[in-house]
Amino acid sequence: MVRFGIVGFGLHALKRLMPGFRLAQNARVTALSRRDAERARVSAAEHGIAHAFTSAEELCRSPEVDAVLVATPNNCHLHDVLIALECGKPVLVEKPMAMNAGEARQMVGAAKRSGVLLGVAQVFRFAESTRRLRERVAADEIGRVVYARSEFCYPGVSHPRTWLTDATIAGGGPIADVGVHCIDALRFILDDEVTRVAAVRVSDADSGTVEASAMVSLEFRRSAIGAVMVSTRAQYRTPLELVGESGVLRADDGLSVDKPVIIELRRGDEIETEQVLNHLAYARQVDAFAAAVEGRAAFPVPGEGGWKNQVILDATYQSMRSGCAQAIESGDLAIG
């Protein structure tokens, strides 16, 4: 059993991580950290977690922790990941991996130098919906994919994570927060890489220093065109759609973990459906990381995978600022 410490035990830990750990087969939480000592103690007592700390360093140095899961605000990721690596603890960092690609590069370099495992928590790599869509695309059920679409919206005004509208903490708005899920899901399903992006954004009185809504076009190496649309001004929705030369695969709730997902295959007037469940995605994620910690399997999203997503996010924000499309260069992923 791999013992995890969660750095940054906030809303995400309560809503998603702990339910996942309760369903995991080979991972459990033995420690947490929160900056407020009393809140840390109360959270530990409420969730049956043996050890409560007030800093990442204290948690990472604990002999009761085998692996670290970083769930702090985005601007803390670099510091917390580097601390874990310095302490020799395998570390799984929440998405987005960093504030920018430069920080992601630092993390990957530090992991390589220390020989310590670094993974990124792109949880939909472990969802049944994305797995089945990837398999069905690979099986040529819709022919060559010409167009792929992923959306992620949620009501963000007065969100409990108040820092989401502060670019100095979040790095960006819904593109950084959930658009990274959409981008990673399309990369995974298509088994392809992005070569060029273009983006537009809309802000409003409640969006602070980040975008409220955005649309990103993606060009893939094998010629598919992708579209990502995100907003914190709409009700929760996460549709996925892949249009091929001979058919269409779609799932209206493709990136949902809270309800069954119906995958629909359309060929002409014919419609076939398949129902899948994503409720084990968070459990599978930590079990997969535990297997990597024990040397039994490679983790599906190593630091390099998160770094690729961060390069795409950086290019997206650059496109928003410049009004021009941005190329994704292979040299962007080089460690000097």
* Structural domains in the chain plus CATH codes: 2-123+283-296 (3.40.50.720), 128-278+312-333 (3.30.360.10)
Pick out the chain residues at pLDDT < 50: none
Task: Give the per-residue pLDDT at 331.
Answer: 62
Task: Give the per-residue pLDDT at 9.
Answer: 97
Q: Write the CA distances from 292 to 2, 213, 216, 223, integer angstroms.
A: 10, 37, 33, 34
Task: Give the per-residue pLDDT at 332.
Answer: 67
- Long-range (24+ apart) CB contacts under 8 A made by 270-278 are 274/132, 276/128, 276/129, 276/132, 277/128, 278/124, 278/127, 278/128, 278/129
Per-residue pLDDT tens over the stretch 66-101: 999 999 999 999 999 999 999 999 999 999 999 999
Task: Give the per-residue pLDDT at 317.
Answer: 98
Task: Give the per-residue pLDDT at 84.
Answer: 98
Task: Give the per-residue pLDDT at 158.
Answer: 87
Per-residue pLDDT tens over the stretch 150-209: 999 999 998 888 899 999 999 999 999 999 999 999 999 999 999 999 999 999 999 999
Task: Give the per-residue pLDDT at 151.
Answer: 98
- Burial string for 100-135 (b: 16+ CB within 10 Å, else e) reads bbebbbbbbebbeeeebbbbbbbbbbbbbbbbbbbe
